[in-house]
């Protein structure tokens, strides 16, 4: 063979896919687009600069976020919302998902009300859109709390515009907090108050496996940066652990975008004719995600970095064995659980053919797939022993 195997598929076909004319054109334009986004974000939010006189806790309270999606940031926002409602009496909640600004459907948005405290339960790159759902005078004197999640050691240059908009940052992890402290803002660390996902049946039917099959599940959003979630390592670890054994099935649930759909082709090429690794790309509801989590015999996360790791936390809570790269935010809560199986890793320089991160001078983790494979084998062996003879 001309090209040897590697943690990321190599070969001329892969290179051509990743360096297609469309992707090359995207990369050429990216620097110009980023400069334009910075200008637009700054100009569109200038009227919402924080007031230095604001104090925390004044009511009424406004909470803005994306609450009706199945992906991690949305589920995390719902965990936070439950806690906010326990702390405050007068809470207005706006689901910003799908609302595009001042000309959008303003149902349930009272543009005459003045708020004392504002929780922005969404990432700063949405602020130019969500802040304009309200008149500047409605939140002018409000104390603003930004609930931010980030997955690299460097504070993103693209978020600099948001620094004067909030009074403090609520970080989901110590790992994220280190980058946020670079802003000079007060930073508090508050892990998501995760509760066990509901015991929804039907997960094995959804995965297409029988009751006796050893089922691994990996859930990841690769719309923006597949390299961070590292789905290729999941395939390699499962292959090293179980080969093509049809009684040990891994289901990889992916959320893909138009530029990252090619990853599905790469994974399918790695899988080949084997039937024990399946890639699922259809959109799932929160209940369906919970059904997969409950159906799993093991949850696998060979990520390069996590700002929190919600699926990891949820699966640990319901008692599922979790095999995860022991680096970034999950290090802060994983070892508290007996069903946490840390995977060793080494630090490697950030590389990404989509150039997702503008600030590139950092390293992240490369999971040891051999170590992951050994842990997967041990979990299956222990499960077989506990089940006893048929």
Of 232 and 12, the structure prediction assigns the larger pLDDT to: 232
| Residue 105 sits in the same domain as residue 206 | no
| Residue 183 sits in the same domain as residue 67 | yes
The residue count of the chain comes to: 390
| pTM of the entire predicted model | 0.92
| Residue 207 sits in the same domain as residue 100 | no
Structure confidence at residue 106 as a pLDDT band (50, 70, 90):
very low
The answer on pLDDT for 99 being more than 80 is no
| Residue 181 sits in the same domain as residue 45 | yes
Structure confidence at residue 389 as a pLDDT band (50, 70, 90):
low
Domain end position, chosen among 189, 218, 233:
189
CA angle at 252 for the pair 247 and 255, rounded to the nearest 5°: 160
Name every residue whose Cβ is closer than 8 Å to that of residue 151 and which is 6 or more positions away in sequence.
Answer: 175, 176, 228, 305, 306, 307, 328, 329
Percent of the chain with pLDDT over 70: 94
Residue span of the structural domain in which 184 resides: 31-189
Name every residue whose Cβ is closer than 8 Å to that of residue 52 and which is 6 or more positions away in sequence.
Answer: none
**Torsion, CA 8, CA 9, CA 13, CA 15, rounded to 10:** 20
The answer on pLDDT for 326 being more than 50 is yes
pLDDT score for 2: 24
CB burial of residue 164 (10 Å; 0-12, 13-18, 19+): middle
Measured between alpha carbons, how far apart are the two ends of the chain, in Å? 44
- Where does residue 169 fall: left (phi above 0), alpha (psi -120 to 50 degrees), or beta otherwise? beta
Mean pLDDT, rounded, of the chain: 92
Domain end position, chosen among 189, 220, 253:
189
Number of domains in the chain: 2
Structure confidence at residue 19 as a pLDDT band (50, 70, 90):
confident
pLDDT score for 111: 87
- Give the C-alpha separation, 103 to 320, whole Å: 46
Percent of the chain with pLDDT over 90: 85
Note if the bond before 60 is cis, omega within 30 degrees. yes
Name every residue whose Cβ is closer than 8 Å to that of residue 358 and which is 6 or more positions away in sequence.
Answer: 34, 156, 157, 158
Structure confidence at residue 10 as a pLDDT band (50, 70, 90):
low
Of 15 and 314, the structure prediction assigns the larger pLDDT to: 314
Domain end position, chosen among 189, 217, 247:
189
């Amino acid at each position: 063979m001309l090209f040897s195997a590697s943690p990321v598929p190599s070969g001329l076909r892969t290179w051509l896919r990743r360096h297609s004319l469309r992707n090359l054109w995207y990369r050429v334009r990216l620097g110009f687009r980023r400069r334009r986004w910075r200008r637009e974000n700054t100009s569109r939010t200038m009227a919402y600069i924080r007031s230095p006189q604001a104090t925390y806790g004044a009511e009424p309270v406004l909470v803005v976020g994306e609450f009706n999606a199945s992906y991690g940031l949305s589920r995390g926002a719902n965990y936070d919302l439950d806690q906010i409602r326990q702390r405050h009496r007068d809470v207005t909640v706006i689901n910003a998902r799908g609302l595009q600004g001042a000309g959008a459907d303003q149902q349930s948005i009272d543009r005459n009300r003045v708020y004392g405290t504002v929780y922005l339960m969404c990432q700063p790159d949405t602020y130019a859109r969500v802040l304009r759902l309200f008149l500047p005078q409605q939140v002018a004197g409000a104390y603003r709390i930004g609930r931010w999640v980030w997955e690299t050691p460097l504070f993103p240059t693209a978020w600099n515009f948001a620094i004067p908009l909030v009074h403090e940052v609520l970080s989901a992890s110590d790992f994220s907090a280190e980058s946020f402290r670079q802003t000079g803002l007060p930073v508090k660390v508050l892990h998501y108050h995760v509760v066990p996902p509901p015991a929804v049946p039907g997960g094995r039917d959804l995965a297409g496996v029988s009751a006796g099959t050893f089922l691994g599940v990996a859930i990841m959003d690769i719309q923006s940066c597949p390299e961070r979630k590292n789905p290729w390592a999941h395939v390699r670890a499962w292959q090293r652990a179980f080969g093509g054994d049809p009684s040990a099935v891994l289901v990889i649930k992916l959320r893909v975008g138009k530029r990252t759909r090619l990853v599905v082709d790469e994974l399918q090429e790695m899988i080949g004719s084997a039937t024990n690794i399946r890639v699922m790309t259809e959109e799932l509801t929160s209940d369906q995600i919970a059904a997969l989590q409950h159906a799993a015999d093991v949850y696998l996360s060979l990520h390069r970095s996590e700002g929190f790791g919600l699926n990891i936390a949820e699966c640990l809570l319901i008692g599922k064995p979790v095999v995860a790269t022991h680096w970034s935010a999950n290090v802060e809560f994983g070892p508290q659980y007996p069903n946490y199986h840390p995977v060793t890793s080494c630090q490697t320089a950030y590389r990404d053919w989509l150039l997702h991160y503008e600030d590139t001078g950092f390293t992240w983790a490369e999971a040891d797939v051999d170590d992951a494979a050994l842990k997967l084998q041990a979990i299956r062996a222990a499960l077989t022993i506990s089940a006893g003879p048929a």
